[in-house]
Amino acid sequence: MIPTLEWLPAGVNFLDQTKLPLEETYVLATDYKQVATVIRDMIVRGAPAIGVSAAMGVAIGIDRSTAATLVELTAEVDVICKTLAETRPTAVNLFWGIDEIRNLYNEMVAAGAAIPEIKAAVVAKSRKMYDEDIDACKQMGRNGAALLPQTGTVLTHCNAGALATCGYGTALGVIRAAVEDGHTIDVFADETRPFLQGARLTAWELMKDNIPTTVLCDNMAASLMRQGRIQAVIVGSDRIAANGDVANKIGTYGVAILAKEHGIPFYVAAPWSTVDMATANGDLIPIEQRSAREVTHSNGKQMTPDGVGIENPAFDVTPAKYVTAIITELGVLRAPYEESIKQMAEQKTLATV
């Protein structure tokens, strides 16, 4: 399994995804500010991995605090959570991860727990979330494997694999599970400009698993779909609205339209923590705008004229009408999504009561 992130006695250790595929190096974050930098700079990326990283960031901030009283510690926790929440706005898992630790902290304070007890509990909780993410991805894979062709080629956009999670992956987890079940699958990986997550990351980790992979420029999918060379599309997500609209890496919307036009199923794989019941539709999802330099430069070399205008939204929103099914660890959702998502939310609530 690819070690995307790991809690160590010295801190949280992250595989530096900005250096892949040519260099496998790690960045050790020893405090919450360093975790925030790792998330902001995309050393770690992918909604599920960001969620667990944020949880570990809050936990390490609490664990390493020198506050002598709960009043002082609570004031620090406010700053810790705010700092991490300001890193990347689109992935709802970020806020889920922060809230999981913050809520546990608040419950323990209300119950009169001592500071050492609180520190041990939040660290244990964040480490448990790591294990739960891997389990959720594997269950997602089992839930979605049968949807992929027994033999054929699957297109994916960006990286929704082990590198985007704590291990195994969401969209790539479904592909892995299908291969483990005996499917013969080739993968087309969109390069995913401008950060090249498909070319650098998806291709790297699928090759490690010996799954046949071909990298495509982002503008090649339509031609290959027309030739009948793509049998399914599967992607991850950073936020799913209550009506089934899906935010994912920029370019996903165009791929979904192409799939619809060519009669190709378009699947989304994401943990339930990516579903945001508080966001009614995709128009309300905040879209992160990233540095112009990601577009103007490639491998340190300038590719555009000085002074030219640059747009660099990190995500777009695919309306629910283009989504064939949403695969989660709790089951597979289908249209009408407002109803199926609401029913799944109610079932999860009942299961936790």
Catalytic residues: 238
How many Å apart are CA 55 and CA 100, to the nearest integer? 7
Give CA–CA dist 51/254, Å, rounded: 27
Place of tokens 């399994």: 1
Torsion, Cα 285 168 204 49, to 10 degrees, reads: 40
Using the structure block, give the residue that is written with the tokens 């339209």.
Answer: 257
End-to-end CA gap in the chain: 34
Sheet with 239-241: strands ordered across: 275-276, 239-241, 246-249, 315-318
Distance (Å, rounded) from C-alpha 237 to C-alpha 252?
10
Number of other CB atoms surrounding residue 349 within 10 Å: 9
Alpha-carbon distance of 132 to 139, in angstroms, equals 10
* Peptide bond before residue 336 is cis, with ω within 30 degrees of 0: yes
d(CA 187, CA 32): 37
Q: Facing residues of 326 across strands?
A: 268, 333
Q: Encoding tokens for residue 73?
A: 């510690």
Tell me the backbone φ, ψ of residue 279, rounded to 5 degrees.
-110, 110
304: three-class secondary structure by DSSP: coil
Q: For residues 348 and 351, give the distance between their C-alpha atoms in angstroms, rounded to a whole number.
A: 5
Q: Which residues contact 260 (CB under 8 A, 6 or more apart)?
A: 266, 322
Distance CA 253, CA 24 (A): 31
Q: Tell me the C-alpha to C-alpha distance, in Å, between residue 223 and each of 187, 216, 230, 307.
A: 16, 11, 10, 33
Q: How many CA atoms, within 13 angstroms, populate the side-chain half-sphere of residue 117?
A: 10
